[in-house]
Amino acid sequence: MNKQFALTDNSVVVVIGSGAGGGVLANQLAQNGVDVVCLEAGRRLSPADVVNDETEMFGKLTWLDPRISSGQTVPGLPVWTCKTVGGTTMHWTASCPRLQEHEFRTDSLYGDIPDTNLQDWPFDLETLSPYYSLAEDRMGVTGTHNIPLLPGNNNYKVLEAGARKLGYTDIDTNHVAINSVARDGRPACVQSGFCTSGCVIQAKWSTLYTEIPQAERSGHFELRPESMVVRIGHNAQGRVDEVHYLDSEGTLRIQKARAVCVACNAVETSRLLLNSTSDRFPNGLANSSDQVGRNYMRHFIASVVGEMPGPVNLHRGAHQAGIIRDEAGHNPERGFAGGILMLTVPFAPEMFAKFLDPNGWGEDYASTLENYDHLAAMLIHGEDLAQQSNRITLHPTERDSYGLPVPIVHYEEHPNTRRMKEYALKCGKAIYRALNAKKVHAIVDMLPATHNMGTARMGNDPATSVCNPWGQTHDIANLFVCDGSLFPSVGCGNPTLTIVALALRQADYLTRQLQENIL
Amino acid sequence: MKHSELSPATSTTLSRRALLQILLSAPALSLAPLSLTTHDTQAMGLEHLSPATSLALVQVARLLFPHEGLADEIYLGVVKDIEADISTNEGLLHSVAETPILLNKAVARNWMQMSHDAQIEALAAIEDASVFGYLRNRTIESLYRNPAVWKLVGYEGSSIEYGGYLHRGFDDIDWLEDK
C-alpha cells in the first residue's frame, strides 16, 4: 500500500515538512486523490522510541542544527522546534484556542502603533470557522464536537481557585487535542505528564500516528524521512519544478514536482525560500515584496511560580489542561494592545533549578527547590505585534553540516509587549498570592520560542505580503507556504489549531486548482 | 510594579545581591563537614581531575545546592560528570582545575579548611568567573537529573509504567478552601 514515486515524476505535489501544517496538508491532499511526496528532515520514531524522559526526548525531538541568536533571543537556542516526523506536534502541549474575532483585524482595531507593521488577515473568523471546526473534529479537541473536557489536575485546581478569588470566571481545563475519552483509535489521557516529550500512549494528537499513517493508507502518499531540502528550483517560466534534498546518506536527490508546499516552521521556511536564489529571483523565492523572513513574531514565555502552602505535585497530569481567558480580549485601558492567556504548566526540578533565578544558588535557593512538590506554575503568553526588523536572515559565511547558510533569528521586544508582560506578571502573581503563596517567582524570557510566525504572511497586496489568502505565494502560482509563517498577526493563543485549519483550507483550494488544471 | 522586576539583566543582579546578603547574614549553617577525603576521590581513578581538585569540586557542588538529605556520594556524581565533559573538551580542564586556586586566592588561605560561611563568601566572590556558570549548570544537570534527588524533592519521574497519575493523585489536592 505504501506508494513510491519516481524522482522524475513531475505530477506529484511535494510537501516539505510533516508537522501540523505539512502533515495535515499532505494527508488531506492524498485523501483528495492528489499524489504527494512528503520530505521530512528528521527521523521517523517508532512508538518504543517515545519515553517519559525529558532529557532523552529533548535530544530525540529537537532541531539542534546551529541557529544564531540575535537581539532578545535565548543564546544558542533561539527557537525550540522539532526535527522528526510529526514536527512540533510531537512536543506541543496540544492547547487549541481559536483566534478571536478581533485578532484578525489588528491593523484596523489597534490604532497607529509606532514601529509596527500591522496587517489585517485577508479574511475573518467566520471564513475560517468551518475549517476550525473540521480541524477540531480531526484532532479530537476537548470541549468541541461533544468531546468532554479533561478533568483538572492539582496545578489546575490551584490556578482556578486563585483566579476565582480575583473575580476571573472564564476558566476551564482548556480546549486540548488530547483524548478525554478513547477516540480515533487512540486511548484517553492517563495524566502521565510529559506532554512536551511526545505522548507515549498517543492520547495527544500528533501527525506522526494520525495523519501520516492515514495518508499512507490512501495510496497517494510517500513519506521520505531524513530528507533535508536544500533548495527549490524553477523553470524558465518562473514556476517551481524541482526540490533538491540530501537523503539520509547525504546524497543529493532532485524530486520533480507539479507544485511545492513549504511547511517547515518559520525559521526553516524562511531559510529555504531565502536560500533558493537564482538569476530570476536573486532575493530568494516569493520575495519580491522583501517580506520573506520579516515580521517574525512569537509569544513571550513568562512563567509565574508560586510556593504554595500545601503540596501541588504539578508534574502530575496534562501540561496545559488549564486556562484563564478573562484577559484575552483587546482592552487598551490596560495600557497595551492585544490580550493574554494564562495556562497551567509544569517544570521538572532541573528547569526550576536553572531558571527560577538564572544565577541562583545556595541554601535559600536549594530549599525552594527542595520544596518542589509545593510549587504551582503557570505560563502566560500574549499577542506579539509585527515589526519589519524582527526577522530571519541567512549568515553570509557560516554553514551548517548540510552546507546551508546558518539562519540568524533576530527579535527585539516591542514596548507594547513589554507593557503587556508587566501586566501579565502582575496578574499571575496575584493569583498565587490570593492563595497565600509563601513566595512567588517569575521565569521570564528564559526559554526558547516555540510559537514562530509571520515570516511569509498572507495578504491581498503583493507589495506588503508574501502569500495570498490561500497560502499561495503571490510571485509563483505553484509555490505554497503552510505553517505559522502565514499569520499576518498572531493573537495570544497557541498557533497549531490555526495552522491545521489553514492547511485544510489550502488543501481544498490546491486540489481544485489541480483538478481544474489551473496549476 | 517596578520595571526592575521585569528586566532580566537588572533583576538577576539585584536578586544575586539579595541572596548574598541572606547568605552572609545567616547564622552558621549546620551542614556536617564532608564525609569524604582525597582517598575517596583517589579511588575514583579519574584521568584528568586530581583527587584534591575533585574533593574541592564536591564541596563546591554541595555549597551551590545544599540538600541535607543527600549523601556526599551523590555530589561525587557531579565530579564524574565534569570529568566526562573534560574527556570530550580538554580545554575545560584548565578552568576547572583553576577553581580551587581561585577560591584559595579569595580567602588568601586554603579554602577547603575555612569555615562554612567563609567558604560560601569565597564562592560568591568568584561568581563572575566564567567557570562558575559552567559549574552551576553542570551541578544542576547532574543533581536534578538524579532519581535520588527527584525522590528527595518529590518529583516522581517516569509515570507511564504505573498508568500515569489518573488514579494516583493527579487531583488529590486537599488544602484548597471549598469554592
Instruction: Point out the residue among B19, B159, B175 whose CB comes nearest to the CB of A364.
Output: B19
Q: What is the DSSP letter of B35?
A: S
C-alpha A424/C-alpha A126 separation (Å) is 29
Contact A445 B157 (CB under 8 A): no
What are the boundaries of each domain within chain A?
13-515
The C-alpha cell 497517494 sits at A220
Minimal C-alpha gap between B97 and chain A (Å):
21
- DSSP states of A134-190: HHHHHHT-TTSTTPPPPPP-HHHHHHHHHHHHTT---EES--BSB-SS-BTTBPPP-
Q: Residue A473 above 90 pLDDT?
A: yes
A350 close contact with B: CB closer than 8 A: yes
Partner B contacted by A51 (CB < 8 A): yes
SS3 sequence, A131-148? HHHHHHHHHCCCCCCCCC
Residue of chain A with shortest Cα separation from B120: A362
Give the count of Cβ contacts less than 8 A between chain A and B: 160
Res A35: pLDDT: 98
What stretch of H or E contains A422?
helix A415-433
CB A191 within 8 A of CB A413: no
Q: Is the pLDDT of residue A483 over 70?
A: yes
Judged against a pLDDT cut of 90, whether residue A134 lies above it is answered with yes
Contact A53 B154 (CB under 8 A): no
The arrangement of secondary structure in A13-515, i.e. its CATH architecture, is: 3-Layer(bba) Sandwich (3.50)
Report the length, in residues, of chain B: 179
- Tell me if A358 and B8 make a contact (CB, 8 A cut-off): yes
ipTM over 0.90: yes
| Cross-chain residue pair A52–B15, CB shorter than 8 Å | no
- Paired with A228 in beta bridges are A246
CA distance B149 to chain A (A): 9
CA–CA gap between residue A104 and residue A125 (Å, rounded):
7
Q: Tell me if the pTM is above 0.90.
A: yes
Question: Is the pLDDT score of B98 beyond 70?
Answer: yes
Residues 134-173 of A with CB under 8 A from B: 151-154, 157-158, 161, 164
Nearest CA in chain B to A444: B8
pLDDT tens digits, A372-428: 999 999 999 999 999 999 999 999 999 999 999 999 999 999 999 999 999 999 999
**Contact list, A376 vs chain B (CB under 8 Å):** none
Residue A497: CB atoms within 10 Å:
25
Nearest CB neighbour to B16, from listed A309, A350, A359: A359
Residue A263: is it exposed, middle or buried by C-beta count within 10 angstroms (0-12/13-18/19+)? Answer: buried
Is residue A410 within 8 Å of residue A390, measured between CB atoms?
yes
Residue A130 neighbours by CB under 8 Å, 6+ apart: none
Residue B29 with chain A: CB contacts under 8 Å:
363
Q: Which chain A residue is nearest to residue B8, measuring alpha carbons?
A: A444
Mean pLDDT of A471-478: 98
Residue in A173, A178, A174, A175 with CA at minimum distance from that of residue A201: A178
- Predicted local confidence at residue B35, as pLDDT: 81
Q: Which residue has the cell 512536551?
A: A196
